[in-house]
Structure 1
Amino acid sequence: MLPPTPSPPVWGILLAAGRGSRMGRPKPLVPLWGEPLVTYAAAALAAGGHDGLLVVVPPGEVGEGVRSALSEWPFAAVVNPEPQRGLLSSFRAALGALPEGVGAAAFALADMPLVTAETHRALVAAFRETGAPLVLARYGEGSEAVHAPPHLLRADLWPGVLALPDADHGPRAVLRAYAAGAVTVEVSAGQLLDVDTPEALSGAEGRISPPPRPPR
């Protein structure tokens, strides 16, 4: 009997190069219960069962601040030199920095602090079980359900992401093109929160506690 074929590596990507125009300051470093906002998403992603971790940061002091905030987790870092070009530029920076042989990448946002490690593990498990080109998180139920990050993309979809025009702010065209073959992971609607504004930050304070620190 032949041994099972090993599953290709799955990396977790944290996109943390956003400008924070609606927040009025760089979102990743906004304090939430005394911790930089980015650490909440980082803690969950780091416990999500990925084979490697990468964070995309902006150039300059903010990028260095994000690196420092995540120094206790094993994130490699890549700089997006042009974050003003939108989210797609961070996807490109991440995909260009991944090592050869990676089979899929799951993309998470630094401003979604309520997504849990269990959600990340569920996406990785679904990919390993099915090999689907896309694994999508669906928040809520029925007509109120919405798809939102994290999204997991198999490596053969990456050229389509890299070829998208800058006007597409994320890999939406690729997600639409492969939606029929996607596997969906059901996620509690309570995890869906984008901290894009001061009001959203205030709302997050009532729904979350400080993130767990890595074991020393």
Structure 2
Amino acid sequence: MCKIGAIILAAGQSVRMGKPKLLLPYLNRPLIHYPVSLAVEMDFARIIVVGGEHIQQLQSELSEFSNRITIIHNTEYKKGMSSSLKAGITAIEDELDGVLIFLGDQPFASKDVIQKLIREFKQLRNSKIVRPRYSMQPGHPILFDKSLFSKFHALCGDEGGKSIIKANEEKLLYVDFENTKLNLDIDTPQDYELLLKS
């Protein structure tokens, strides 16, 4: 049985937004609810949410999911996304065959996308990274095979997993989708205003 987990990155400092963006409301729910509730619906083997500066508010907002998720505190969140990836992988790596890494600020992350990524991963186990592409633009969430978990510990700064992907391009499979809205992330007040109008 192929066991897949999820890591949801929720420790960013929201510098461009000027306030904790994942706690901002959209349709009467905070933004972070959308990827978390989707991960819970997909019934991953484990779900790790990595929080940072606003960990207590995050725990409060996600209390309804407490029986299905594990929230961990990345105390080194100021070092950038790599610190959250390392914290998430450390919490999850011994148990799974692969992990999907979600951004916490993507309210339109799709069940259909996730199902297709996992299906391709299971069918083509020589593909160690399975990534969605929206109208030919690479996006998230990204599925990594367990054989690459150790590579995350060498990351630094705010680079995310780009260097791992670049070093393993021969093992990368893209799955294509047309709807670019599925890859929308919310970084600035302008992004948020557009979201509220959508």
TM-score after normalising by structure 1: 0.84
- 1:45 deviates by 2.2
Conservation of the 8 A alpha-carbon contact between 1:13 and 1:105: yes
Question: Hey, what does 2:35 align to over in structure 1?
Answer: 41
Conservation of the 8 A alpha-carbon contact between 2:93 and 2:149: no
SS of aligned partner of 2:94: coil
Q: Which structure's CA Rg is the greater one?
A: 1
- 2:180 is the alignment partner of 1:189: yes
- 2:137 is the alignment partner of 1:137: no
Cα distance in 2 for residues equivalent to 1:85 and 1:72: 29
Question: Hey, what does 2:69 align to over in structure 1?
Answer: 75
Structure 2: 5+ residue stretches without partners: none
SS of aligned partner of 1:56: strand
Conservation of the 8 A alpha-carbon contact between 2:9 and 2:49: yes
SS of aligned partner of 1:106: strand
Aligned pairs, how many? 194
Runs of 4+ in 1 over 4 A off after TM superposition: none
Cα distance in 2 for residues equivalent to 1:35 and 1:71: 13
Deviations 1:17-57 (A, max 9, x none): 11000000111111223211101121222223422211001
Identity %: 26
Conservation of the 8 A alpha-carbon contact between 1:12 and 1:50: yes
- 1:66 deviates by 1.4
Conservation of the 8 A alpha-carbon contact between 1:44 and 1:120: no
SS of aligned partner of 2:141: strand
Question: Hey, what does 1:214 align to over in structure 2?
Answer: none
Question: Hey, what does 2:46 align to over in structure 1?
Answer: 52
Structure 1: 5+ residue stretches without partners: 1-5, 208-216
Conservation of the 8 A alpha-carbon contact between 1:23 and 1:196: yes
Cα distance in 1 for residues equivalent to 2:57 and 2:157: 29
Question: Hey, what does 1:169 align to over in structure 2?
Answer: 159
Question: Hey, what does 1:29 align to over in structure 2?
Answer: 23
Indicate the structure with greater helix content: 2
Question: Hey, what does 1:160 align to over in structure 2?
Answer: 151
SS of aligned partner of 1:195: coil
SS of aligned partner of 2:87: helix
- 1:92 deviates by 0.4
Amino acid at match of 1:148: G
Amino acid at match of 1:183: L
